Structure 1
């Protein structure tokens, strides 16, 4: 045995490893990749490349397969439909769990849930932010090796454990139902791609079978529903590129964890400059409306303001900006809507934003111009 010529021949093993890696990088194969792109969506690996600084992403569990004998006939399932790992955004480490719709519709299987559990453990232990890139049909009901989703309760429990400890971002980039629609509801920041993403308790086929209602994903849980009606989502964006750029921008305001100070950036905007133009915006007549967003843009560094939930509870404005390079949270009454008076949704919007900033040590700037609360039977109900 010791004299065997094949004993130290590593070439077959190295070639096998290279082939397995290529299979993983090929995702669901050329046809499914082409279909994904034909829907106006980027592939999971293109999304990850756009999210992180070039060359910084280190993948965890790249060679994973489903390991479910009941699905063996479907062949190799690249990364079991979920790409996980750690990369850098503006030089700071961030974890990612990105579902791959080209592999079993990005459904949640036993192996990929083990991978995401590992990432949640890494995030909590190393105190780094986590980003979910969601494009998934939810739990993998085709699984034959027991109820794989039954153990996913740990996912939601651990998201609650992470809440207020590290920033959590959930980007909706495709149609998500059930399990992967619960993830964003527990995250801090939720952008949605307007034409391709949705989230709902069930997909349209199940809704049709259960209730007889014939509805498409966008009408049931698209960006317009969740940015204008429910208020669950924070922003509607045009496409994958804008979504990922917005995620990077958002994280730039936050520390890696709640024991670290928010990152201060250099700015050429003098912190002691006067804001004389505010007199041309705010009227002396108390009953005359004006757009408080114009005031915000005058006050903050370089007029750069990331507004959150701009289309929901529009009578109050919330968002992130910088003053003297220091991240700040802005809360401003909006006289253009309901005269700036507060209602239930505005109070909820403001409270959630205050909690977020408080958790990560971001100072708050209040711009008050409020006549009080909306009154009457409608708000009491």
Structure 2
């Protein structure tokens, strides 16, 4: 065979790279039920679609050149449901997938190609942080800051991260910059490992407490979804990307509508309690409005008085931003404010129309809220909604009180405002309004109190709002899906691409 020696050399180099950190380390992962870097790509990508870039890269230092196959990061291109993506999969079996001079170049190349060619970028995170010998001293400092846009997030294409093990350094940074981050239970994410942190602060630090899934899904909000296995995390990545365009210059994709979907609208009345003070889970209403099984919730464990997620209505991708009275009666706390604002940024960046489902008694006020910068969070939200250019449709289901009326798409903050007959438009709860305006409690004068209460409620009805043409229609709740289908066709009929004024909004704030 011609060129046999060269082809044999190629096979030898290829086998070395594919062996990763060696059979002993790979066997340990199998025993632990954790996929390795290349197996993760097999699950994530369409079959036989992966094109590797940098397979023969090695660590830059002579002493590690022979023991750093692919320099610990497997990178390249593949397809997800037929669409091209760029991907970086960290190989923890090779020096803990530590960041180095060479594999940093691989990440940069993937980032540049994804941006220039308009394709999503996926990071499969598991890394020990910086490779110390590469980063020590003046030469190590000189490595940093050579790429001025390394940490620029301009949202030209979607970025997605899966946190699948111990994630420090670059895995943390890129997760915080991603549009969606899914975390496997047992993984951690932090600036540095618990060992390094313990040494730095001279006290023991528990890894789970430092950067576990409960912290990031429930307290920091940096993680959008939590799953049990690598496979579930990779399927979540695939599903998230299915709702998004490949880049911000394309409309969001449209899919077929599952049979029986249009019958779900009848479930709205069953989900909405008769009593205006009875709590309920708004997710039941969401599932009655959107295409069957299409609601993909984001940040379900964080800021729970607002529910956010991607869904489809008549096959179109939409963003759902809904008050959820099941938690705190729907009162909007600081975490919910942050969650809502970041969701507006996501939808506007990728041409996804937004549907507000409104049932809120206002913002959760108090000294803790003020200490956590409530006025600034509220105005951040208003700044964001003012910059949103995608179609916005607001549906006032029950309460819509105070300043939050505007934050939830009231007035000119939505292109279309609909109300149900159950809508209640006031500045505060009507009973509280009587007490504030007339310094009167029911026990003081029940007859007068009830008369004043009825007066306030009449002025707060959807009919008063409709008379001022501040709501464009008052509809039967069972017709909500039908109305949304029609309005989305009006506003997105030819495929909508927005102005992306929020594309540089901070990713973590």
TM bracket (short chain): over 0.9
Alignment of 1:1-381 (within 5 A): 10-72=3-65, 75-143=66-134, 147-148=139-140, 151-153=143-145, 157-161=149-153, 163-195=154-186, 197-269=187-259, 273=263, 275-381=265-371
Separation in 1, partners of 2:31, 2:176: 28
**Cα distance, 1:179 vs. partner?**
3.1
The root-mean-square deviation of aligned C-alpha atoms, in Å, is 1.9
**Closer, same or farther in 2 for the Cα pair 1:86/1:207, shift >3 Å?**
same
Q: Which moved more, 1:209-218 or 1:114-123?
A: 209-218
Q: Report the 3-state secondary structure (helix = DSSP H, G, I; strand = E; otherwise coil) of the residue aligned with 2:360.
A: coil
Q: Which moved more, 1:353-362 or 1:201-210?
A: 201-210
**Cα distance, 1:213 vs. partner?**
2.4
Separation in 1, partners of 2:308, 2:265: 21
Deviation >6 Å, runs of 4+: none
Separation in 1, partners of 2:87, 2:142: 23
Q: Report the 3-state secondary structure (helix = DSSP H, G, I; strand = E; otherwise coil) of the residue aligned with 1:157.
A: coil
Q: Report the 3-state secondary structure (helix = DSSP H, G, I; strand = E; otherwise coil) of the residue aligned with 2:150.
A: helix
**Cα distance, 1:43 vs. partner?**
0.5
Which structure: larger Rg? 2
Separation in 1, partners of 2:58, 2:293: 48
**Cα distance, 1:180 vs. partner?**
2.4
**Closer, same or farther in 2 for the Cα pair 1:186/1:156, shift >3 Å?**
farther
Separation in 2, partners of 1:83, 1:158: 19
- Give the match for residue 500 of structure 2: none
Gaps of 5+ in 2: 372-509
**Cα distance, 1:272 vs. partner?**
5.5
**Cα distance, 1:368 vs. partner?**
0.4
Name the count of aligned residue pairs.
370
**Closer, same or farther in 2 for the Cα pair 1:380/1:113, shift >3 Å?**
same
TM-score by length of 2: 0.70
**Cα distance, 1:191 vs. partner?**
0.3
Separation in 2, partners of 1:289, 1:214: 43
**Closer, same or farther in 2 for the Cα pair 1:339/1:154, shift >3 Å?**
farther
**Cα distance, 1:98 vs. partner?**
1.0
Q: Is the 8 A contact 1:191 1:236 kept in 2?
A: yes
Gaps of 5+ in 1: 1-7
Q: Report the 3-state secondary structure (helix = DSSP H, G, I; strand = E; otherwise coil) of the residue aligned with 1:132.
A: strand
Q: Which moved more, 1:35-44 or 1:141-150?
A: 141-150
**Cα distance, 1:71 vs. partner?**
2.8
Q: Is the 8 A contact 1:70 1:144 kept in 2?
A: no
- Give the match for residue 375 of structure 2: none
Q: Is the 8 A contact 2:44 2:80 kept in 1?
A: yes
Q: Is the 8 A contact 1:36 1:102 kept in 2?
A: no
Q: Is the 8 A contact 2:266 2:288 kept in 1?
A: no
